[in-house]
Amino acid sequence: MADQRGVRQPGRAARTNRRVLASEYCKEVVEDALRIHGGFGYSTDAEIERLCRDAPMLLIGEGTAEIQKMITGNRLLERYRA
């Protein structure tokens, strides 16, 4: 698929995979940061506290990661069968 300038854009499956991967990495990084900060990470004075609340929402914001993976798998199967 190309845009008006003729630049090739990634397909839906690729965008979905990137979104899932980025949200999973975000959650891992926030969990590691919380381990580093220890108890201070739970304090509302720390920025990491807000990130700990927001990171899980990335995984379920546009559908759970499992659903996104199922959609991607189904699209790949359709392409394979065609």
- C-beta of residue 75 within 8 angstroms of C-beta of residue 12: yes
Triad 44, 34, 39: Cα angle to 5°:
60
Please indicate, yes or no, if residue 4 is contained in any of the structural domains. no
Please indicate, yes or no, if residue 2 is contained in any of the structural domains. no
Q: Which domain holds residue 69?
A: 12-81
**What is the tens place of the pLDDT at every residue in 13-30?**
677 778 888 888 888 998
Please indicate, yes or no, if residue 7 is contained in any of the structural domains. no
User: Which CATH number covers residue 16?
Assistant: 1.20.140.10
Please indicate, yes or no, if residue 43 is contained in any of the structural domains. yes
Please indicate, yes or no, if residue 27 is contained in any of the structural domains. yes
Ramachandran angles phi, psi of 6, nearest 5°: 85, 10
Q: Confidence class of residue 57 from pLDDT cuts 50, 70 and 90?
A: confident
- C-beta of residue 57 within 8 angstroms of C-beta of residue 51: no
- Positions marked catalytic: 62
State how far the Cα of 62 lies from the Cα of 16, in Å rounded to an integer.
10
Q: Is 13 exposed, middle or buried (CB count within 10 Å of its CB: 0-12, 13-18, 19+)?
A: middle
Please indicate, yes or no, if residue 6 is contained in any of the structural domains. no
pLDDT of the residue at 23? 83
Q: How many independent structural domains does the chain possess?
A: 1
